[in-house]
């Protein structure tokens, strides 16, 4: 989003001199509308600005706040603005964001507003991968343990919309690096950091900035859950009294991990085995880690352990996240469209037993595809590539197995079906964002599912 010459919608705006100080809401869409609902409820004046002439959510804004001032198609920084509330998709190097900071204005996220207003304790969950699954697990664990809970943030309902409901016992928030970057105070009852791998380098100025945004979840937290593989996370939580770690190794007392007994693999807390991995409804090694992280956070919330374990036995996972679609002609088809970066795709690949045909590609966001080669070595039947960065993925895999290009998802699935052999898995793990070809990762996953359903045995 960039500052260009001022344009107005057809609606006549009120005089800024009469309006006085107000909030500038930068970017419409789901987050911008949630901010509008919140500001109208608390009686704050606002001006809404979007670089698009007809942004998503414009009709809803008209119905909600018909008299609200708005600037569409780009504008300069308005006068009499007290603070700027920025939607997550707008990068920090946007001209208006930089102008606001140069003017000494407060630039914040919707999550900052939530943290200032929320009356009930909240759990914040972030990480490059797995945060939606862990957020949803914790929501169900809270409810199974007899507590009221509301979940949202980067997943589902925007955080501010949750404040319109009756106060729950707990809020569970999925938090992106974009939201954390612009959140100054985040007094989470439990802060969970699952993992950090390079991502969103098209938004953040550097990998270091991305990592700092993730680690900021610990700054004001009461307690924390950390991944034992991340030594920096341990350093960043030294000021927190209660810290529980998780990992896929054997855990020390009071921490969570994996133990093996009599050729069986178990989730464990210290020396105590809790649940056989074979009883998990979730699939894959990375989901074992997600389950352990959720158990650690649940302990910090003092949730009933048996209720949490029951959820792990019943919750099958979220759509487009290692979702088993269908078995056709002795070949399994798995949809992990949510694998929008290289690390997520690597986790998906490692979670599959046997040979596979990989469907990958899209908008790479500056990621390094070379990391895909090692887990695919001697396991890749073929790679079928789609989207803008298909050639970059081909370059990373050209010494592994043959790669092929597809026009669209239907063509990719048909090619993959032709290459697959008995008991292979056709895995959609794009390692890329979807916006070069699809509205979002869900639309991409649905296209994959439709194409698989259309296959004939």
Residues catalogued as catalytic:
131, 154, 200
Tokens of 138: 């914790």
- Residue 266 to residue 304: CA distance in whole angstroms: 19
Hunting for tokens 């048996």 — which residue is that?
A: 306
Evaluate whether 237 touches 226 at the Cβ level (below 8 Å).
yes
Evaluate whether 159 touches 173 at the Cβ level (below 8 Å).
yes
Straight-line distance from the first to the last Cα atom of the chain, in angstroms, rounded to the nearest whole number: 48
Beta-carbon contacts of residue 454 (< 8 Å; ≥ 6 apart) = 410
**Cα dist. 416→328, 341, 357 in Å?**
12, 21, 6
Beta-carbon contacts of residue 179 (< 8 Å; ≥ 6 apart) = 88, 109, 110, 111, 153, 154
| Strand 272-276 with 323-328, pairing | unpaired
User: Quick one: which of 326, 322, 331 has its CA closest to 415?
Assistant: 331
Rg of the chain (C-alpha set): 23
């Amino acid at each position: 989003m960039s500052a260009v010459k001022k344009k107005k919608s057809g609606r006549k705006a009120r005089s800024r001199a009469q309006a006085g100080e107000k909030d500038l809401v930068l970017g419409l869409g789901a987050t911008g509308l949630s901010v509008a609902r919140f500001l109208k409820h608390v009686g704050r004046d606002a001006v809404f600005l979007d670089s698009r002439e007809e942004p998503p959510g414009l009709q809803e804004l008209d119905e909600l706040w018909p008299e609200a001032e708005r600037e569409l198609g780009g504008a300069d920084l308005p006068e009499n603005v007290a603070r700027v509330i920025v939607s997550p998709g707008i990068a920090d190097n946007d001209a208006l964001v930089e102008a606001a900071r140069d003017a000494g204005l407060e630039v914040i996220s919707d999550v900052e507003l939530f943290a200032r207003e929320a009356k009930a304790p909240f759990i914040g969950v972030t990480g490059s991968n797995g945060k939606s699954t862990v957020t949803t697990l914790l929501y169900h664990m809270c409810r199974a343990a007899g507590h009221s809970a509301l979940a949202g943030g980067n997943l589902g309902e925007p955080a501010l919309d949750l404040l319109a409901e009756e106060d729950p016992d707990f809020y569970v928030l999925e938090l992106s690096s974009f939201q954390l970057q612009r959140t100054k105070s985040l007094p989470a009852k439990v802060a969970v950091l699952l993992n950090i791998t390079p991502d969103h380098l098209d938004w953040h100025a550097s990998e270091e900035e991305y990592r700092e945004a993730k680690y900021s979840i610990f700054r004001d937290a009461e307690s924390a859950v950390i991944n034992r593989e991340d030594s920096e996370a341990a350093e960043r939580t030294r000021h927190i009294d209660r810290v529980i770690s998780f990992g896929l190794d054997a855990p020390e007392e009071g921490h969570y991990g994996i133990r093996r007994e009599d050729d069986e693999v178990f989730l464990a807390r210290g020396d105590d085995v809790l649940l056989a991995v074979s009883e998990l409804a979730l699939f894959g090694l990375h989901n074992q880690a997600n389950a352990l992280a959720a158990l650690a956070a649940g302990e910090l919330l003092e949730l009933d352990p048996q209720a949490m374990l029951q959820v792990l036995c019943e919750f099958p996972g979220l759509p487009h996240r290692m979702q088993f679609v269908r078995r056709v002609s002795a070949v399994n088809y798995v949809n992990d469209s949510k694998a929008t970066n290289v690390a997520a795709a690597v986790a998906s690949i490692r979670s599959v037993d046997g040979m596979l045909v990989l469907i990958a590609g899209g908008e790479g966001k500056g990621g390094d595809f070379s990391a895909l080669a090692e887990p695919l070595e001697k396991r890749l039947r073929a790679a079928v590539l789609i989207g803008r960065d298909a050639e970059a993925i081909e370059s990373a895999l050209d010494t592994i197995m043959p790669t092929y290009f597809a026009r669209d998802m239907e063509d990719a699935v048909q090619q993959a079906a032709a290459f697959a052999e008995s008991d292979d898995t056709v895995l959609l793990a794009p390692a890329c964002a979807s916006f070069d070809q699809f509205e979002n990762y869900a639309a991409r996953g649905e296209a994959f599912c439709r194409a698989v359903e259309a296959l004939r045995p």
